[in-house]
Structure 1
Amino acid sequence: MTQIMLSLDIESLEIISQGIDNQGNIILEVRSKKSHSTCHKCGKPATKRHGTAPKVKIRHLPILDTPVYLVIEPIRYQCEHCDDHPTTTEQYDWCDRRSTITKGLEKYLMRSLIHSTVQDVSRKEGVGAPSSCLDKKLEKRLSSIFRHNSGLKKQYHQMSQKLF
């Protein structure tokens, strides 16, 4: 197979290897270039490496209509600022915590919903319904609107009960 060099447009990642799995998906094994994480307890930088978490497989933007997966082994860091030295698993700016898709793919799916249905996008892209992705975005947007206008929140709940 011929190797093709492509940019992931994720500056904090380095591609270690590439391949194709049995289903024809492109698999990119990647490594983080970051040298620290933020302690979940005190919020300060944790820089002492303390092993790794299990590998995770995260779906990224397709290449030539072929699904792409990033496989990464998250680094665990130990906080030297806290007395009990807790460990924190590295978090990424390109992927939400515990998400199975990258933010880039999430944006792509959201754009695909323009003039299309959730079912059509789901079928075309071979993903579980992007509605969970849509729900997260709408929830964030609506919660900030509702925070400032409680009357609007009541109207929304009445309308959504009629629709669903």
Structure 2
Amino acid sequence: MMTFDNDTIQALLNLPDLAIERVVLGERKTLRIDVHSTLEGTQCHRCGKPIHHAYGLGNEIELRHLPLLEYRVLLI
């Protein structure tokens, strides 16, 4: 069985603005990768102005990424 550290998985995903919190090997060759953004601030979804402070966290979402070495990849 192959093992990868977070830096290797980060490089394979090629998503530089995300930090990996946890990787779990699930059922049916599924990698569940919990991530969070490393970007400072964002834009308001209504007016487009920059926002530099948080009002809280949104709901967790699950996104399917391209497969890695025959593993189904889910970003949480």
* 2:62 pairs with 1:54: no
CA RMSD of aligned residues (A): 1.6
Q: Shift in Å at residue 50 of structure 1?
A: 1.1
- State TM-score, norm by structure 1: 0.40
Cα displacement (A) at 1:47: 1.2
Label 1:24 to 1:65 Cα distance change in 2 as closer, same or farther (>3 A).
closer
Secondary structure at the counterpart of residue 28 of structure 1? strand
C-alpha offsets along residues 83-136 of structure 1, whole Å, 9 cap, x if unaligned?
Answer: xxxxxxxxxxxxxxxxxxxxxxxxxxxxxxxxxxxxxxxxxxxxxxxxxxxxxx
State how many pairs are aligned: 71
* Larger RCO (CA under 8 A, 6+ residues apart): 2
User: How far does residue 19 in structure 1 lie from its aligned partner after superposition?
Assistant: 0.9
Runs of 4+ in 1 over 3 A off after TM superposition: none
Give ranges in structure 1 of 5+ residues lacking alignment: 72-164
Mapped to 1, the partners of 2:63 and 2:40 lie a distance apart of 21
Secondary structure (helix, strand or coil) at the match of 2:56 reads strand
Decide which structure has the larger Cα Rg and report it: 1
SS of alignment partner, residue 51 of structure 1: coil
- Of 4, 15, 20 in structure 2, the residue corresponding to residue 10 of structure 1 is 15
1:67 counterpart SS class? strand
Q: Tell me the amino acid that sits aligned with residue 61 of structure 1.
A: L
Of the structure 1 ranges 51-60 and 36-45, higher mean CA displacement relative to structure 2 is found in 36-45
Richer in helix (by share):
1
* Percent identity of equivalent pairs: 28
Query: Which sections of structure 2, spanning at least 5 residues, go unmatched?
Result: none
Which aligned pairs between 1:81-100 and structure 2 lie closer than 5 A? none
With over 3 angstroms needed to count, the CA separation of the structure-2 counterparts of 1:2 and 1:17, relative to structure 1, is: farther
- Picking from 22, 29, 32, the partner of 1:24 is 29
Q: Which residue does the alignment assign to 1:37? A: 42
